[in-house]
Every structure is written in C-alpha cells, then in structure tokens.
C-alpha cells in the first residue's frame, strides 16, 4: 500500500503542477490578478487562481478513483502492490465512496466561495456564514464527528460533538486562510502538516484517510512549485479555504489510535491534530485577538501575523517562511509519536509543544504599525 500512496502523491502533484502552470497564463489573459497597493509588497500584478491547480490535483484523481471503484473490479496489476489484501481494500473503498463524494462536493463549494471572494471581495460576515453553512451541511450529511465518546459520557453529548466538529473544521479552514499572507507560506505549512498526518495514518493503518492526505500533499506541493518565494502565482482564498477544509475534515476522520488501543487508556492521542496544527491555530487566535482589541473585524487583513513580525525583526521574507516551516515541522514530528507512547511521554510532547509556542510568542514581541485596509484577502 505504501507504493499506492506514493503513486497518489505523484499523480496529484503532476496534475496540480500542470493545472497551476496553465492557470498562470489564463489568469493574466482574463485579468484575474492581484494588483500591488496597500500592504501588498509585490511590485507587479500577480496571477490569482492557483487554488484551481490544488483542486485539480485533488478532484481529478478522486473522481476517477471513486468512479472506477464503484463500477469496476480491481485490476490485477494492483494485487502485488496491496500485499494480498486488494479485495478487502476494494470493498472498503466502495463503502467509503459516498463519503468521498460528499467531501469532494464540499471542497468544490468552498473553492468556488474563495474564487468569488478573490474576484470580488465579499463581506467578512457573509464569507463566514457561507463557510459555516458548507461545513455544517457536510458534517450532518456525512456524519463527521470528533469526540464520539461524548455520546454516552454526558447528556446531549451527540450535539456537543457535532458542534465541536463544525467549529474545528471552520477553525482549521480559517487558519490556513489567515496563513496565506506571504509567498509559499500557507501551502508550505499545509504540506508539512499533511505529511505529519499522512505518516500518522500510515502508522496506524488508516489507508483510506491516508489516500486522501496523499492527494492533498501532492496537489499542495504541485502548487507550491509555482508559489515558493518569489511566487509566480497566488492561491487566493480559492486555494487556502480548500486546503483548510480538506485538512480539517481528514483530521476528523482519523482515529489517532493504533490497532487494539482504547480511548480510556490512550486518551491523550486526541491532542495529535492540535499539536500538528499548533502553529496555524496559534496564528489564527493571536491575530484575531489583536484585531478585536483594536476594534477591527478578525477577517480584515493586516500585518500582525507571526510572519510579518519576523520580517519586522530583520528576516527576509523567504527566511521567515522557511522559519515557519521548521516550527510547524517541530510540532508535527512530536505529534506523530503521540499515539505510540505512554502517558508520561505524551505529557512531555504536549509540554514541548507549549515551549515551542512560547518561543514563537517571544519572537513576536515587536510592534508592527497597524495598516488600514478596505479589502478582505485573508
């Protein structure tokens, strides 16, 4: 199955790379560009719509794969790659196909919402309500839930679980939207976090979630090829919202427990996604608080992100982006181990993550002059 996962990464990478390359030319021809001005640092108009490449790298393999699994029998050449378990995987994929279509539909809708916002800036409340509507519909239709043990633990536990799932996916979605403030930042951090989740799911045998993560990783890297500083194209909200939604959904679908483990003994594994996504979630919370304290909407962009503060301290933009990659990798590596360690070591991993965020908080202690903007492009 590892070879299948590698093939999925390669296929999604190739599709994303090609579609993004095509979109670079198309966006310029139709005038779909991000123009300089305000707090934007690029000197020339940059093509938008890189999220189309990310969607292509995700959607085309999913449509072809789910369609083939639903209508045909497994090909013989895959049997050697599946270690004699192809029939079981194939039947399992058929059972998961409806969920796959539902996740893809939600991804397309959130992508279209982002493209609309890229073309004509939407009001922050409309954009947030639209995100929550898409997320809520997906959670209810697909029965996606975290902390399902709440069903029997406390009265109303089912509804609490549903609400927490919606909030979690919405938070992850907006976290990567907020991170899209420098060339290569959101896509690169997403690639680091997706790699961590992919390794974790492979280590506990969650093959179908791993397949989705492999497609997300390949499509993100295919786009990042064109977006690493200096960027040749921007993903826009059509890309950042899509990445956040898909990653949020796939983290909900992951159990984080190795085979045979029980929640009452290994409850700390529930912190794995929070630790992997510690950096984007930290930035989301801190920037939102700063904006609210200044009487601004959390969804109106400014230069108070961690990346901006690193640049204010003298780093180049590329160095600041690479620094955030390393911070995300530092927390992610620890989280991969979390489902496989005893409670004492789990506590050390959680403490380590807090210490890393403490370093981030210290590096943020620089005053950045607030800038007034009229357009929401977080």
Dump pLDDT digits (tens) for 296-326. Answer: 877 777 777 888 888 888 888 899 999 999 9
The residue with tokens 């990346």 is 307
For 174, the enclosing helix (H) or strand (E) is helix 157-179
What are 34's strand-pairing partners? 46
Helix segments in 31-123, DSSP class H? 50-71, 86-119
Q: What is the b/e burial string over 200-227, where b = at least 16 CB atoms within 10 angstroms of the residue's CB? A: bbbebebbbbbbbbbbbbbbbbbbbbbb
Task: Please state the rounded mean pLDDT for residues 190-203.
Answer: 93
Kindly report whether the peptide bond that precedes residue 109 is cis, defined as omega within 30 degrees of 0: no
pLDDT at 83 over 60: no
Q: How confident is the model at residue 185 (pLDDT cuts 50, 70, 90)?
A: very high
The tens digit of pLDDT for each residue in 137-152 reads 999 999 898 877 777 7
Is the pLDDT reported for residue 73 higher than 60? yes
Do the Cβ atoms of 31 and 231 come closer than 8 Å?
no
pLDDT band at 18 (very low <50, low <70, confident <90, very high): very high
Q: Residue 118 and residue 120: Cα distance in Å, rounded?
A: 6
More confident residue, 363 or 106: 106
Residue 286 has pLDDT above 70, yes or no: yes
User: Using an 8 Å Cβ cutoff, are 351 and 214 in contact?
Assistant: no
Read off the tokens for 239: 């890309």
pLDDT value of position 10: 96
* CB crowding 56-74: b at 16 or more within 10 Å, else e: bbbbbbbeebbeebeeeeb
Q: How far apart are CA 109 and CA 318, in angstroms?
A: 32
Confidence class of residue 70 from pLDDT cuts 50, 70 and 90? confident
CA distances from 143 to 7, 12, 165, 242, 263 (A): 29, 27, 10, 20, 20
Q: pTM of the full predicted structure? A: 0.89
Q: What is the pLDDT of residues 244-282, one digit of tens each?
A: 999 999 999 888 766 665 665 566 777 889 999 999 999
Q: How far from chain centre, in Å, is Cα 334? A: 18
HSE value, Cβ hemisphere, 13 Å, CA-based, for 66: 18
Q: What pLDDT digit, counting tens, does each position of 333-378 carry? A: 888 877 777 767 878 888 888 998 898 888 877 655 554 443 344 5
The set of residues, in sequence order, having a beta carbon less than 8 Å from that of 31 and lying 6+ positions away, is: none
Spatial CA neighbour of 249 closest among 137, 126, 89: 137
């Amino acid at each position: 199955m590892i070879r299948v996962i590698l093939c999925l990464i390669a296929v999604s990478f190739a599709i994303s790379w090609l579609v993004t390359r095509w979109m670079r030319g198309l966006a310029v021809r139709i005038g779909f560009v991000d123009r300089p001005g305000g707090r934007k640092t690029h000197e020339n108009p940059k093509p938008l719509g890189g999220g189309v490449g990310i969607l292509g790298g995700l959607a085309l393999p999913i449509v072809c794969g789910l369609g083939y699994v639903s209508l045909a029998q497994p090909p013989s050449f895959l049997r050697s790659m599946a270690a004699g378990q192809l029939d079981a995987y194939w039947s399992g994929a058929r059972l998961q196909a409806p969920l796959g279509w539902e996740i893809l539909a939600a991804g397309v809708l959130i992508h279209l919402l982002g493209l609309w916002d890229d073309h004509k800036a939407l009001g922050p409340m409309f954009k947030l309500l639209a995100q929550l509507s898409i997320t809520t519909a997906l959670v209810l239709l697909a029965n996606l839930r975290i902390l399902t043990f709440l069903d029997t633990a406390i009265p109303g536990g089912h509804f609490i679980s549903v609400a927490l799932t919606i909030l979690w996916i919405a938070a992850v979605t907006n976290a990567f939207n907020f991170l899209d403030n420098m060339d290569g930042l959101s896509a690169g951090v997403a690639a680091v976090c997706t790699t961590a989740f992919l390794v974790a799911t492979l280590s506990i045998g969650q093959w179908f979630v791993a397949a989705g993560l492999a497609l997300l990783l390949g499509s993100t890297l295919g786009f990042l090829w064109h977006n690493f500083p200096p960027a040749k194209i921007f993903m826009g909200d059509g890309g950042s919202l899509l990445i956040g939604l898909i990653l949020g959904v796939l983290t909900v679908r992951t159990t984080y427990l190795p085979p045979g483990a029980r929640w009452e003994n290994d409850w700390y594994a529930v912190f794995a996604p929070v630790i992997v996504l510690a950096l984007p979630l930290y930035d989301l919370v801190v920037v939102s608080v700063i904006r609210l304290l200044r009487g601004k909407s959390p969804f109106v962009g400014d230069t108070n992100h961690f990346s901006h503060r690193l640049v204010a301290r003298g780093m180049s933009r590329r160095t600041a982006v690479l620094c955030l990659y390393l911070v995300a990798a530092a927390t992610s590596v620890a989280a991969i181990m979390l489902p496989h360690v005893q409670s004492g070591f789990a506590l050390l991993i959680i403490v380590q993550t807090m210490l890393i965020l403490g370093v981030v908080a210290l590096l943020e202690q620089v005053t950045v002059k607030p800038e007034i903007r009229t357009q929401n492009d977080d």
